[in-house]
Amino acid sequence: MPEGLVGEILPPGSEAEQRQQEASVRRGFFKTMKRAMRHIPFAEDVVASYYCALDSKTPAASRGILLAALAYFVLPFDAIPDFIVGLGYTDDMAILLAAFTAVRNNIRPEHYDKAREVLTPDEAPAEGQAKQV
């Protein structure tokens, strides 16, 4: 996807919008991820993106893009409702993949380490809880 289009599809938003998106993402990410795991073939990248978005060392523009994509993923109102079997997560996957592609250079090994930790069933955080970056 051309870099210019990513900014149009996933604008980083103002600081206030980013704070609101971050709050939504923190509240609903793991609950949504649990439901979507079998539909999203790049779950580790999505969870690593979550930790990247919450990392204060991540550049603001990248954080904004990730927060916008993750907020879309978490919010129940989609272009294609998630409960539609076979199609429900296709719009979410497209948005998440576009965001991941745009900021992949900012997703560091420690974000992937944390992703692997939470994707291991014995170590997954309780709903609504996340390990902090």
Could you tell me if residue 82 is inside a domain? yes
Could you tell me if residue 95 is inside a domain? yes
Higher pLDDT, 60 or 21: 60
Could you tell me if residue 126 is inside a domain? no
CA distance readout (Å), 105 to 31, 47, 58, 63, 109:
27, 15, 10, 12, 10
- What average pLDDT does the segment 3-25 reach? 65
Could you tell me if residue 83 is inside a domain? yes
How many residues in the chain?
Answer: 133
Could you tell me if residue 133 is inside a domain? no
Cβ–Cβ under 8 Å, residues 40 and 93: yes
pLDDT in tens, 36-70: 777 777 889 989 999 999 999 999 999 999 988 88
Rounded Cα–Cα distance for residues 79 and 46 (Å)? 19
Could you tell me if residue 100 is inside a domain? yes
Could you tell me if residue 128 is inside a domain? no
Instruction: Please tell me the predicted confidence (pLDDT) of residue 12.
Output: 59
Could you give the number of structural domains in the chain? 1
Rounded Cα–Cα distance for residues 75 and 43 (Å)? 17
Give the domain range for residue 28: 3-121
**Residue ranges in the chain assigned as alpha helix (H):** 3-9, 15-36, 43-54, 60-74, 90-103, 109-119
- What average pLDDT does the segment 90-117 reach? 89
Could you tell me if residue 85 is inside a domain? yes
Higher pLDDT, 115 or 126: 115
